[in-house]
Amino acid sequence: MPSLHRLYVSVTETGRGLPRQFWWLWAATLVNKLGGFVVPFLSLYLTVERGWSAAYAGLVASLFGLGSAIAAIGGGVLTDRIGRRPTLLAAQLGTAVSVAVLGFTDGQVAIAAVVFLVGLSSNASRPAISAIIADVVPAADRARAYALNYWAINIGFGASAAVAGLIAAHGYLTLFLLDALSTLLCAVLVFVKVPESRPVAAVAAEGPAGSAAGLGRVFRDSRFMAVFGVNLLLALVAQQGSTTLAVDMGQAGVPASQYGLVIGLNGALIVLLQLPVTRLMAGRNRTGLLVASSLLIGWGFGLTMFAGSSAWFFALTVAIWTIGEIVNAPTMMALVAELAPADARGRYQGVYSLSWSLAMFLGPAGGALLLQYGGGVAAWGTCALLGTAAAAGFLLLGRGQRRRAGSVAAEEPAKALV
């Protein structure tokens, strides 16, 4: 009971003053992720249930990542062109249908095609959700709002992963249908409780030709694209947690049961620490937070080269990079929302999401090649170098912004670019 009380206090303090529309969106996200069974178990479904090769499962995962990358751009454009709510509803309905169809699909080519559609539809909702939060939450409160949204995602993911194995024992089709049902319930909640939030200025700027929905404006924004590039370095590192880490632990002789406990520590720490850490971050210099989080993520993975066969040491490295993730995620989302003009929030969030989709597409292959041909020193040493490079990039961006902003940035460091 005391722990529940502390959790309640933490939620109320972190969420104080946030608008009702945000909380309905938060609830919809939680409902959706509580039923997110399919993607975490897709490789297991293809290799164990279907009996197909690991190479085919890797190809399917890449197709999912390719669909996600395309959706990041397309979803961002649609968010600005037709609105946040229609884009979000279309993405959720598309995801529900494609996941349900996947459960009944047979044949390698057909399954690969449907998985591509699942990636395309599911990731199209991310720019819309991020844009809605930026629309309805004041700038000073956005880091808290994004932290709460990230917290909901991880609560849902952790809970769904815990019960998915039990459900799969009664047949994988049940997983697909429950996943589709939770996504459909999320769409219903959005339809009933989340109104359109696109600012009037954004509608006016679009004009009859829809000129505001172009992507050139985003790619010509040198400050934002610099942030995009630095984040891509960090995202490539973060992707190793779900791919290369599993292979390395397996080669080190760590049993699957211990691997599950080690990787589960990531979600557990996010659920326990996200809100308290977010409160501690309030008012801190954004550059310092991004530099520290980059070093924690990069060197958290880098220390894995010294783990040997110790599950406890692997767990220690997971704890280090998880703390970096907790600090980085809401800080970056708030930064992107601040950089984006009101009439282009969807496109900016979509391009930011693209950095993660590209990392999802490129990171696993890169990590696997480094591990295979260079061993743990090459794979995890590269992670440390990339994390250090990202920290240096954020530091340079912060210094450049302070030089441009002059005395204003000196008086309000938390409002600087980074």
Q: Give me the residue label for tokens 């450049």.
A: 400
pTM, two decimals, is: 0.86
pLDDT per position as a tens digit, 265-279? 888 899 999 999 998
pLDDT digits (tens, 9 = 90+) for 128-141: 999 999 999 999 99
Supply the pLDDT for residue 295. Answer: 98
The angle that helices 20-34 and 142-168 make with each other, rounded to 10 degrees, is: 20
Contact indicator for 346, 215 with CB cutoff of 8 Å: no
pLDDT at 205: 52
Would you state the pLDDT for residue 282? 87
What average pLDDT does range 171-182 have in this prediction? 93
Name the band, by pLDDT with cuts 50, 70 and 90, for residue 180: very high
Residue 409 predicted with pLDDT over 50? no
Say yes or no to pLDDT of 210 above 50: no
Three-state DSSP string of 322-347: HHHHHHHHHHHHHHHHHHCCHHHHHH
Domain 18-204 and domain 214-418, same fold? Reply is yes
The token duo for 12 is 């109320």
- The pLDDT of residue 402 is above 90: no
Q: pLDDT at residue 326 above 60? A: yes
Domain extent listing, the chain: 18-204, 214-418
Q: What is the mean pLDDT of residues 190-195?
A: 96
In contact, 197 and 136? CB cutoff 8 Å: yes
- Determine the average pLDDT of the residues in 317-340: 95
pLDDT value, residue 381: 97
Of the segments 23-37, 80-94, 163-177, 237-251, which one has the largest average pLDDT value?
A: 80-94
Among the CATH numbers 1.10.760.10, 2.170.120.12, 3.40.1010.10, 1.20.1250.20, which is that of 214-418?
Answer: 1.20.1250.20
Q: How confident is residue 254, by pLDDT bands cut at 50, 70 and 90?
A: confident
Question: What are the tens digits of pLDDT across the range 119-170?
Answer: 999 999 999 999 999 999 999 999 999 999 999 998 988 788 778 777 877 8
Rg (CA), the chain: 21
Structure tokens at 328: 């980085």
Mean pLDDT of the chain: 87
Integer angstrom CA distances of residue 171 from 64, 114, 177: 23, 19, 11
Neighbouring C-alpha atoms within 13 Å toward the C-beta of 317? 25
- Is there a contact between 202 and 311 (Cβ–Cβ < 8 Å)? no
Name residue, tokens 């969807």.
346
* Highest CATH level, class, for 18-204: mainly alpha
